[in-house]
Amino acid sequence: MLKVTLIAHTPNPEQVVAAAAKLCYSSVGVEDLLSGLTPEKSREFVHKLAKMGHESPTEHVSFTFGIEGVSRSLLAQITRHRLASYSVQSQRYVRLDEFEYVTPPEIAENPEASQEFQKAMEEQTKAYQRIAQLLKDGHIRQMVEQGMDPEKAAKKAEKLAIEDARFVLPNACDTKMVVTMNARSLQNFFRHRCCERAQWEIRQLADEMLKLVYPVAPALFAMAGPGCVKGGCTEGPMTCGKAVEIRGKYQSLKQEAEQHAGQTDCH
């Protein structure tokens, strides 16, 4: 199951963005950048930047997420966003004898397809276990014959075995990662991945990430979401044709996220 946690972020992100922008438009020295930048003033400045389309100051703040319960298929998609940092659970070092997997909703809702999918996952699990064991046994024999201590041989053989056995694991196999993006890259991520044309799993992830960052910096992410939230649909003939509905969805998402954050703070 998808789980997203906001692990860390730049403190006072809107103030930092406002300070960086302030330097661009005034003769003030660095030591005086924060002077007068109250939360309210910072928020006004950030709103003004958004209207001007001045995005570079937003690169000075970053957000770090812990993500789990996503597929290796999603991993291939999210790493296309190159202005980000990724740390991913390694299949070379972590043995996955009973790996978890992500089931697409369309498959889950079709009883016959769901049965076949589960069967395929079970077969892949058994194949992984068999291949890993066969490789491990072979490596141990070879290393012991070469004079290595059996205990040391077993440890080394384990790593060598799972390094190659992982090739049988499916795209559905779940993974965990830590992802850091600056606010500008995050806006770009939301613009592409919150869109209805994005694949369902990464769209779900993008929505959860947006729910977490919006209460932290509401002015910074006021227009975050798919392209149609900020203006007209950017997908041309590939449009879903539901721009009004989508704008309403993201307005509600942000309101609910802020209310939830407020309730959490009270506790």
Binding site for dUMP: residue ranges?
A: 77-80, 90-92, 166, 193
Q: Is the CB of residue 237 less than 8 Å from the CB of residue 202? A: no
Strand-pairing partners, residue 173, are 101
| Catalytic residue selected from 43, 95, 193, 203 | 193
Question: Active-site residue 193, yes or no?
Answer: yes
Binding site, by residue number, is 56, 77-82, 90-92, 166, 182-184, 188, 193
SS3 labels along the chain: CCEEEEEEECCCHHHHHHHHHHHHHCCCCHHHCCCCCCHHHHHHHHHHHHHHCCCHHHHHCEEEEEEEEEEHHHHHHHCCCCCEEEEECCCCCCCCCCCCECCCHHHHCCHHHHHHHHHHHHHHHHHHHHHHHHHHHHHHHHHHHCCCCHHHHHHHHHHHHHHHHHHHCCCCEEEEEEEEEEHHHHHHHHHHHCCCCCCHHHHHHHHHHHHHHCCCCCCCCCCCCCHHHHCCCCCHHHCCCCHHHHHHHHHHHHHHHHHHHHHHHHC
Binding site for FAD, by residue number, is 56, 80-82, 182-184, 188
- Which residues are marked as active site? 193
